[in-house]
């Protein structure tokens, strides 16, 4: 069943990836584009902390993978959060 595959995929995500899903929905009104724009703008700012830049770049990679999965399967991965499932 496809839904089980999506739930398995969601459960396999890192805590960082799951947090990006929460932030996307709660801070960026469900928009990957707004979230990516905000992170890219932060990367351009000066001064910056090198470790933070690495984290932002890693988060942008995570966003691309999550966005791609959601677009491919036409779903919202947050729907597979066990806390939200009934």
DSSP string, the chain: -HHHHHHHHHHHS-HHHHHHHHHHHHHSTT-HHHHHHHHHHHHHSSS--HHHHHHHHHHHHHHHHHHHHHHHHTS-GGGG-TTT--
Compute the Cα dihedral for 11, 17, 19, 21 and give only its sign. negative
Domain assignments of the chain as residue spans, ordered by start: 2-80
Please compute the mean of the pLDDT values over residues 5-27 and round it to a whole number. Answer: 92
Please compute the mean of the pLDDT values over residues 30-46 and round it to a whole number. Answer: 84
* pTM reported for the whole predicted model: 0.65
Inform me whether the pLDDT recorded for 34 exceeds 80: yes
CA 12 to chain centre: 13
Q: Which of 36-40, 55-59, 73-77 has the highest mean pLDDT?
A: 73-77
Percent of the chain having pLDDT more than 90?
49
């Amino acid at each position: 069943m496809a839904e089980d595959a999506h739930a398995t995929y969601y459960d396999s995500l890192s805590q960082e990836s799951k947090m990006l899903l929460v932030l996307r929905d709660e801070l960026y009104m469900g928009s990957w584009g707004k979230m990516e724009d905000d992170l890219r703008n932060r990367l351009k700012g000066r001064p910056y902390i090198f470790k933070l830049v690495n984290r932002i770049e890693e988060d942008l990679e995570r966003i691309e993978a999550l966005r791609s999965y959601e677009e491919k399967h036409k779903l919202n991965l947050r729907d597979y959060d066990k806390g939200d499932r009934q």
